[in-house]
Amino acid sequence: MNWVNSVLNLVVPPASLVMLAFSWPARCFIKTCEWLYNNLYTENMENKVVIITGASSGIGEQIAYEYAKRGANLVLVARREHRLRGISENARRMGSGHVIFIAADVVKEDECRRFVSEAVNIFGRVDHLVNTASLGHTFYFEEVADTSVFPHLLDINFWGNVYPTYVALPYLHKSSGRIVINASVENWLPLPRMSLYAAAKAALVNFYETLRFELNDEVGITIATHGWIGSEMTSGKFMLEEGAEMQWKEEREVHVTGGPVEDFARLIVSGACRGDTYVKYPSWYDIFLIYRVFAPNVLNWTFRLLLSTHGARRTSLIGTGRPVFEATSTGRPVSETTGWPLLEGTSTWQPVAGSYTFSQFSPPHPYKPVQ
């Protein structure tokens, strides 16, 4: 049997590439026909019910606006009720007939049952469930001293999608509805300083790929994957929340208008309404998957070469459990990596529903408190 596998190891990869090359024109023709058909018979979302988790910022907020433009009734879910209030008003002005917002934690099953039940009690149905809650990081795994960050990352990125799906599935069956997932290209593309995030996204994508077969298309599943959106992993800023607790957030979480995030949200909603299996932004990242399967060493060498041009190894200490601040002579904390003075506050880290990231210190100007 070993000699059979040895022969197949030599024959199957090049044969598959040749078959792929010859079948590529036919595949493009079929995909074009599917795209034309789906655009002609796209789903009408007027008065349909959409639950969006992680809707208080970023991609979740922009997806809410896209569904609002299509006349859908929205159920916005996140932990920060004050953020949801303003977003719900914006969604109403954009065309949504009815909008309700519910403060809930998606990593708790009982709270997921609460917001799904409330949506069904008010609207009588659920047509789309959109899971966008996500939490990223940019630290090296070996530098983590406090492992309490590990379950937070996995809870939000994995269970924060699974629990709402589990609770909403019976109602999605009744409406022949759809589940939309906000994944990332890191689920298969190896990148440094994102080990736990990439692992959680890989588990998430594999879960929904398996669930797709189990559901047998009775409930649709759209998996949206994105590459680097704007300065998503590098533009974090310290902000003050209630209780003067330091929390690391993306710049785009505070104010998002235009650009890649809005474009990605528009593609997600359009793809979900067309019944697309996948939405990719940008799609050219797929070429790396071929390299990973057939020439992994080439991909590894390329990334090592690109990363080596950035000089000395840098990382974020946020979430690692290592000291981040030191006091100046005036008693004000400063960054250990840049020397910039930072706002006073505790170093307690707490996850907030939505999409945000831990990143490195590169402050272009003094920090300001959130109003």
CATH number for the domain that contains residue 262: 3.40.50.720
Sequence-distant (≥ 6) Cβ neighbours of residue 319 within 8 angstroms = 137, 139, 144, 149, 248, 349, 358
In a domain, 320, yes or no: no
- pLDDT score recorded for residue 347: 36
Q: What is the pLDDT of residues 321-345, one digit of tens each?
A: 555 444 344 443 443 433 433 333 3
In a domain, 299, yes or no: no
pLDDT beyond 50 at 35: yes
Residues acting as catalytic residues: 197
In a domain, 312, yes or no: no
- pLDDT score recorded for residue 239: 31
pLDDT beyond 50 at 196: yes
Say which residue, 315 or 298, is predicted with more confidence: 298
Output the average pLDDT for the chain. 76
The count of structural domains within the chain is 1
In a domain, 321, yes or no: no
pLDDT beyond 80 at 231: no
In a domain, 328, yes or no: no
- Say how far apart CA 66 and CA 313 lie, in whole Å: 40
Q: What is the pLDDT of residues 151-175, one digit of tens each?
A: 988 999 999 999 999 999 999 999 9
Across 242-249, average pLDDT: 30
pLDDT beyond 90 at 311: no
In a domain, 317, yes or no: no
Sequence-distant (≥ 6) Cβ neighbours of residue 154 within 8 angstroms = 196, 199, 200
pLDDT beyond 90 at 13: no
Q: Using the 8-state DSSP alphabet, how is residue 42 labeled? A: P
Containing structural domain, residue 240:
33-291
In a domain, 244, yes or no: yes
pLDDT beyond 80 at 358: no
Element (H, E) at 218: none
In which residue are the tokens 């998503």 written? 232
Q: What is the pLDDT of residues 117-128, one digit of tens each?
A: 999 999 999 999
Q: How confident is the model at residue 290 (pLDDT cuts 50, 70, 90)?
A: confident
In a domain, 268, yes or no: yes
- pLDDT score recorded for residue 321: 55
